[in-house]
Amino acid sequence: MPPPRTRWALITGASPGGMGEAETSAFLKRGINVISTSLEADKQEIEHVSPSPGTRDGFLVILHLDVTSSKSIAAAVKTVHQLTEGKLDWLVNNAGLGYYTPLLDTSLALAKQEFDVNVFGLVAVTQAFFPMLRAAKGCVVNQGSIAGLPGFNRPYMGLYSSSKAAVMNLSDTMRLEFRPFDVRVCTLITGPVKTEFFKNLQGAEVEADSVYGGIREVVNSRMRGSLGGGRGHDRFEVANATVEELLREDVPVYVTKGYMAGLICWLHWLLPTSWLDSYNNRGSGLDRLKGLINGEIEDEKSK
């Protein structure tokens, strides 16, 4: 009987301090070879890291990949095909950007950049690696978020939330369209996790001349604290639990992990929209803004 084929996972957006790095570690510990990709990786050299002696860890390859660049994707496909002999078992689409700001203050250039990475980059990478996934009867893993759930509707997160809603809808469509090829698709619906993601948010600051200037301190605080910020589960714990699910023979359609993720999913399905809107208006300062506009509340700065 021939020895089992070496299995490979490719992870996008595996920057230091993020979920991709934690997922890389989780796969490696389970003997899976990992191609860890990010913008920070060296463009000129491919780094190879052998397992520590005496362990059953997988082999690590660190590769530069810009999911918005067709040239970068093509170069990665060539390298990965050589490494894996044309068979890829998991593609984890983890690369993502966060841009939090009120929609009226949105920079369309930054909004397009966010969708280029979070949505169109995911599609481009999946298209490029699909032949290898098909050859291995592999699995596409798309990083969704509780922010993409219907009814989540957090103020100042509209662009990020809509990009994640797009990811989750695309993932559902992929699951159906890829089934004839025996390629499975899993969507990660992740709640707040302690990562470096929140330190690299774009936006997250309302200027005094904004139409939201009267509540700018509340808005800025809310944006910096969105999705948990300093709260959340340990990323390595979440990654380990997630990868355990991905290694199952019957990979789940959805994997829900992270701080209060399951509860939040349940509440947004159960509670009326009017209740959620009322909660969000109070917590985001929008009820106060309405009072200021209507003259029902005096602006403390004008006293």
By annotation, the residues acting in catalysis are 160, 164
Compute the C-alpha angle 128/133/137, nearest 5°: 160
Assign 160 to helix, strand or coil.
Answer: helix
Return the CA Rg of the chain: 21
Sign of CA dihedral 135, 80, 141, 167: negative
> Which SS3 state, helix, strand or coil, does residue 22 take?
helix
Q: Which helix or strand (DSSP H or E) is residue 162 part of? A: helix 158-178
Question: 10: which 2 tokens?
Answer: 């490719």
Instruction: Count Cβ atoms below 10 Å from residue 110 Cβ, excluding itself.
Output: 14
Q: Smallest Cα–Cα separation from 276: which of 113, 187, 154?
A: 154
Q: Output the CA angle 142-132-33, nearest 5 degrees.
A: 75
| Cα(163)–Cα(148) distance, integer angstroms | 7
Torsion-angle region of 301 (φ positive above 0: left; ψ -120 to 50: alpha; else: beta): alpha
Give the whole-angstrom CA distance, residue 56 versus residue 62. 19
* DSSP one-letter string for 255-295: EEESTTHHHHHHHHHHS-HHHHHHHHHHHHTHHHHHHHHTT
Q: Kind of pairing, strands 184-190 and 139-143?
A: parallel
Question: What are the distances in angstroms from CA 173 to CA 134, 166, 176, 177?
Answer: 17, 11, 5, 6
